[in-house]
Structure 1
Amino acid sequence: MADYTLEEKDSFTVLGIGTELKSDYTDYAGINKEKADFWSAVKQDGRLDTLKSLATNDYIFTVNEAVNGKMMHYAGVMTEESLPEATRVIQFPKGEYLVVKGEGTTSEELSNKLTGIAFGQILPEAKNFAYVGGPNATVEMGLRNGLVFGEMWIPIVRK
């Protein structure tokens, strides 16, 4: 099984700019294309830089959350500030989180790799904890040896 830890985290807030993913949740190619197009747009039009200027740390959050039956995808940062163009203030609860660490050649590769490991390997095999919904995030933490490194944070409950 992939390397992971279970960590207690305090509640935190992520300010996000998002998009609704319209592909079926089983259409990984479609979902990944929508996410890539979204990230390209927020980088090119300056919205990501605007978000980063409000951040309390250097982390960039890629958040997935079901909202009113819609699959939402956000670029976000940890901050207490707000922004008119922000789509959502995302509250992450205090509690236990599945934390998966990794690295990739790009932010997109890191996010896809960690999501695949967490939802494709760890959670299906987990015997004593489960993901029951709520926002989950890939947290890009920086560059090391030419690779993007970070973690996936998924709120869990003990079975």
Structure 2
Amino acid sequence: MDWLKKMNGVISYIEENLAETISYGEIARIACCSEYHFQRMFSFITDVSLAEYIRRRRLTLAALELQSSNIKVIDLALKYGYESPEAFARAFRNLHGVSPTFAREKGAQLKAYPPISFHISIKGEVEMNYKIVEKAPFKFFGVEEVEDMTNGNNLVRIPKFWQESFENGIIDRLIKVMPEAKLEEGATTDVNAIMCYRNTGEDTFPYMIGVFDLEGNAEVPEEFTSISIPAFTWVVFRTEDHNTEETTKKIQEVWARIFPEWFPSSGYEHADGPELEVYFDLGNGRCYSEVWIPIVKK
């Protein structure tokens, strides 16, 4: 499959350049998507950030060299992109639990992270509910946080961000000033979320809790940030109906399946635009959620 070829091509490029400068631009070129969205996709598929994967591979090779050669620690640090022996030693100890000097000793217990390879996995016993829709340009406004993907920190922080926004009254203030027009007719809730609408740097992405301004003419209070979203074709994934307390779990389960299961065989690619989380209230404590991702035909 073309998707598998691209992903394994990225891993080959990384392996060939572990002792050189690794270009995220070249990685994006091989994968045929933006640097920003490839990093997000890689993190979802592998449960580790791209930067952390590269760091682990470099420190795995560094440990092997320490045990099989007389290379100096300072030379090894420079070889794998560290500015000083001290920075290298800190990173080495954080990963392996011992110093580079002790790693030379026989019997030293070290960690090895082999290269990732991507293969077809037989899945599909659980269906994925989706639809493809066209949407005109719109605006969205609310409160923003920059989330860190390292070690899955975003999966912990985002639910806390929602909780804090309820507790400090932000949700109530958003509801008071939200336009009447809804993204879809029906049971959509008042406040939703948008993310990845600008590049915030390696291993991070912006996440905004807010409301839709579909007409683009709302008066936005100064405490809120407004962003403009161009027209896109969107693929929309729906969670199963669930209790309100299960919302975080159910939407994270959908996110975990989109990139490794749907995209590889869909004939579509990420359109390098923002992503949405839309929440629906069915009443009586029941609800469901949707994940919206912009797409283009391959």
Q: Is 1:82 the counterpart of 2:220 in the alignment?
A: yes
1: CA distance, partners of 2:257 / 2:281? 20
Structure 1, unmatched stretches of 5+, are none
1: CA distance, partners of 2:223 / 2:260? 34
Letter in 2 for 1:41: E
2: CA distance, partners of 1:43 / 1:60? 11
2: CA distance, partners of 1:133 / 1:31? 20
2: CA distance, partners of 1:117 / 1:105? 21
Structure (1/2) with the larger strand percentage: 1
Q: Is 1:148 the counterpart of 2:274 in the alignment?
A: no
1: CA distance, partners of 2:132 / 2:175? 28
2: CA distance, partners of 1:83 / 1:47? 12
> Share of identical aligned residues, percent?
22
Between the two structures, name the one with larger relative contact order (CA 8 Å, sep ≥ 6). Answer: 1
Rg larger in 1 or in 2? 2
1:8-157 equivalence runs, <5 A: 8-24=134-150, 27-28=151-152, 30-55=153-178, 56=180, 57=182, 58-65=189-196, 66-69=198-201, 70-79=204-213, 80-86=218-224, 88-102=225-239, 103-106=241-244, 107-126=247-266, 128-144=267-283, 146-157=285-296
2: CA distance, partners of 1:59 / 1:125? 34
Q: Report Cα offsets for 1:69-120 as digits up to 9, x if no partner.
A: 241111111132312221x323222121001112343342343233223334
RMSD of aligned residue pairs (Cα, Å): 2.1
Structure (1/2) with the larger helix percentage: 2
TM-score, normalising length: structure 2: 0.47
Question: Is 2:174–2:210's contact at 8 Å kept on the other side of the alignment?
Answer: yes
Greater shift, 148-157 or 36-45, is seen at 148-157
2: CA distance, partners of 1:73 / 1:5? 23
1: CA distance, partners of 2:281 / 2:226? 23
Question: Is 1:18–1:74's contact at 8 Å kept on the other side of the alignment?
Answer: yes
Structure 2, unmatched stretches of 5+, are 1-123, 183-188
TM-score, normalising length: structure 1: 0.83
Question: Is 2:200–2:206's contact at 8 Å kept on the other side of the alignment?
Answer: no
Letter in 2 for 1:97: W
